[in-house]
Structure 1
């Protein structure tokens, strides 16, 4: 059985990789999509934004669906929908079709993400759990830093004459193969630790009103962050951001009333009771915001600033990938300082107008910092939560990842284009890198000041087991 559980890991990681990759892979295909489908500016923006919007807005509801109907079942449903939606993107004959398929992809990705996190926690215990989360962090990070590399290669090489469609159709055989083996390789989770019996009056079900409120609130945040900068921050963007506050307040109140009246809430707000989890979410948001902001700046600086083509720009980014992958094999406590050092080196290299190979060396250090910190951070955040709240925690964590990435791109892009008014690409890049350095400082502060996790305990016949923040299980008398 242990070997079967390890055989399930690649299936879960493939789902993580392709859904994270698709947040970035379409960026370099936008010019080709615009020309081929004769798409307008709004349609082209929503090819990228529609995916991220649906992804971020659906994660909390999807975590609850996994709790209700089984994380294994919801994983398979999400994987099937993602594969079909990818085929729809690749076969799109007009812009509206492509946008609709991208939104469906985002919904499917949202359905998949919390199930993967919960299944990893259920399938593995002790040191095995730490190893599984290390590979999860590696898959997420590699997909994030290599998205534009893969997109640039696919557009430049034009496999089978598919052009931009290859960026989406490549998911179809991967998804179909993963789906074919999921039923056989993905075993039933290990038995859950004993939980206190729910009161007889407790009623379980999907809180549709709560789902509508949290989705509307998240859309009201993410949509203006994605589209506001592109459109010059029109009044509707500010109205949306302002409206998100009362909507989310109403959602929180509804969840509290549901818990008090005997209904199972969509989101168990007690998940935030552990300071280590809540504090860790801040670091996750900063880390993913920094990563997404860096990808955004690199795409512009390498191509428009240094004049490199998509393939050459993608080749430069392989240094980031190499650093990440090498460091993620042995993550450690020095990730935040190395990340900060790498971004400072990159700032210095750009300031001195150095050669591209020097940029690549700085990116290697940045990638190493991300690889050192990614999986330990995600593992420590989830390990701070009791097993009974794993689904809720996974949905919240995924929402913070995606929203942090969108916010990072928005803030970095706003600073970049604000400094580009004079047409000085170097000054604009340095201004954006200053934002990323500030984000890395925030991650470093978290590493130094984070509170200790309140160890979740599970009863056993021979004593109790504590789960350390690194995922290692310790037996206590």
Structure 2
């Protein structure tokens, strides 16, 4: 078991740097614009190109892990991410930088489902709960500290690199993690006994779980093209539409997304009915715990993204704080998240709702920065308490043979939920920002986030109590008793 725990830092480092890169470039945008003489569209795609490529590639990447081995795809993604980060740091023009950022997003998409699947393979029972607790901590800290770290790197200007340090810092980290993957990533625990009727037979499909050999099944290229086009049609207008005043092309993209995704679903059903292997096993959605859990994940990540958007504007433009002072206030969110994520529990949703209500009250009464920080401490604690139990419960409801597909879907929902949350919150914020009334606009936007937190709380109270099989170790049988993933392992 020691070897399996030694693998955890490698997986967490990979997920931390790929999540961090969603946000770390934001504060470098002015420097990038000046240094590369980049136009508005190019600068926007430096930020959004990464997220768009990431969101569009997750489902296909999860399937690639099933086909060719999750370890092999993890190493490939990590190597590509490291090279793409170097490409970003060495860019001598805006087009080069945008292309390298898209490559980073593709690499991050290749990594993310493999990390989730490997955590499920390497750890069982209480160990799995612990591993996902650390995963949630890594994702949350990267998300809430990204802009702070970016601001520090740009301000410190290490070795005179300026904005390039935001990307080049990934190179030694990625190279070190890559050097350790072959030695520290052990083979998975033996798969538990399968029950009759559990999806596709392993005689038909080698999932790559026990080794890294290529599967006899083939990648559904037509399905990959459809799902990628559908996701781009959803995410691109949501990311760029508001910035450009919702031009006609944004609405056409959103209108086209529905038929494209319907065609994808029909293709997957047709392939499964004919005995061929689809890109996405739609059976993952038959488990109510998984399906309803995705709704809660979308609400949680949407609330987090919306809060980051509101804070960035309110603290600097509303309260008049500088970037470093605003970052210092946001460290309270980081601190609350980190402290609570070390011991997650069942009260995360109520604490998150309480924190957002406190923040609303503070802003309504005329906020001082220290009061905002105190409210953010509670918000961060709520997110830290709920994130890892929620992610663990969603994935633990899925059969092992569907792990890659489920991880790809979960990552897609996380990213799309974040984009939707930021877009909806931003639209509400700017539509009510009349004459520079920052307080009213912030309160309206916070009302949207409170509604999202209420949805997360409703899921925590009403979620289906599935009888989820959670083996505790090699060779052990399925435990038929229901498992509450929000209950501390020591109390089970």
TM-score scaled by structure 1?
0.96
**Superposed counterparts of 1:57-456, under 5 Å:** 57-195=56-194, 198=201, 204-456=217-469
Q: Is the 8 A contact 2:193 2:478 kept in 1?
A: no
- Provide runs of 4+ in structure 1 moved above 4 Å: 194-197, 199-203, 457-463, 471-474
Aligned pair count?
473
Please give the alpha-carbon distance, in whole angstroms, between the structure 2 residues aligned to 1:386 and 1:472: 21
Q: Is the 8 A contact 2:62 2:114 kept in 1?
A: yes
Q: Is the 8 A contact 1:154 1:163 kept in 2?
A: yes
User: Alpha-carbon deviation of 1:193?
Assistant: 2.7
SS in 1 for 2:479: strand
- Unpaired runs of 5+ in structure 2? 206-215
Please give the alpha-carbon distance, in whole angstroms, between the structure 2 residues aligned to 1:221 and 1:150: 29
Q: Is 300-309 or 369-378 further displaced after alignment?
A: 300-309
In the superposition, relative to structure 1, how do residues 178 and 471 fare at CA in structure 2: closer, same or farther (>3 Å)?
farther
Q: Is the 8 A contact 1:20 1:140 kept in 2?
A: yes
User: Alpha-carbon deviation of 1:12?
Assistant: 0.2
SS in 2 for 1:110: helix
Please give the alpha-carbon distance, in whole angstroms, between the structure 2 residues aligned to 1:167 and 1:245: 37
- Deviation track 1:126-184 (CA, whole Å, cap 9, x = no partner) reads 11011001100111111111111111111222222111111111111111110111111
SS in 2 for 1:11: helix
Please give the alpha-carbon distance, in whole angstroms, between the structure 1 residues aligned to 2:101 and 2:475: 49
Please give the alpha-carbon distance, in whole angstroms, between the structure 2 residues aligned to 1:180 and 1:450: 42
- Deviation track 1:14-41 (CA, whole Å, cap 9, x = no partner) reads 0111111111111111111111111111
Please give the alpha-carbon distance, in whole angstroms, between the structure 2 residues aligned to 1:306 and 1:457: 49
Please give the alpha-carbon distance, in whole angstroms, between the structure 2 residues aligned to 1:32 and 1:461: 56
Q: Is 289-298 or 345-354 further displaced after alignment?
A: 345-354
In the superposition, relative to structure 1, how do residues 81 and 460 fare at CA in structure 2: closer, same or farther (>3 Å)?
closer
Q: Which residue of 1 aligns with 2:209?
A: none
Please give the alpha-carbon distance, in whole angstroms, between the structure 1 residues aligned to 2:304 and 2:340: 16
- Unpaired runs of 5+ in structure 1? none
Please give the alpha-carbon distance, in whole angstroms, between the structure 2 residues aligned to 1:234 and 1:138: 38
Q: Is the 8 A contact 1:60 1:395 kept in 2?
A: yes
**Superposed counterparts of 1:2-81, under 5 Å:** 2-81=1-80
SS in 1 for 2:394: helix
TM-score scaled by structure 2?
0.93
In the superposition, relative to structure 1, how do residues 39 and 421 fare at CA in structure 2: closer, same or farther (>3 Å)?
farther
Please give the alpha-carbon distance, in whole angstroms, between the structure 2 residues aligned to 1:471 and 1:262: 38
Q: Is the 8 A contact 1:130 1:471 kept in 2?
A: no
Q: Is the 8 A contact 1:383 1:471 kept in 2?
A: no
Q: Is the 8 A contact 1:153 1:310 kept in 2?
A: no
Q: Is the 8 A contact 1:59 1:398 kept in 2?
A: yes
Q: Is the 8 A contact 1:126 1:473 kept in 2?
A: no
In the superposition, relative to structure 1, how do residues 347 and 199 fare at CA in structure 2: closer, same or farther (>3 Å)?
closer
User: Alpha-carbon deviation of 1:453?
Assistant: 2.0
SS in 2 for 1:434: helix
Please give the alpha-carbon distance, in whole angstroms, between the structure 2 residues aligned to 1:253 and 1:261: 12
Please give the alpha-carbon distance, in whole angstroms, between the structure 2 residues aligned to 1:187 and 1:472: 28
In the superposition, relative to structure 1, how do residues 471 and 361 fare at CA in structure 2: closer, same or farther (>3 Å)?
closer
User: Alpha-carbon deviation of 1:263?
Assistant: 1.1
RMSD: 1.9
Please give the alpha-carbon distance, in whole angstroms, between the structure 2 residues aligned to 1:30 and 1:79: 25
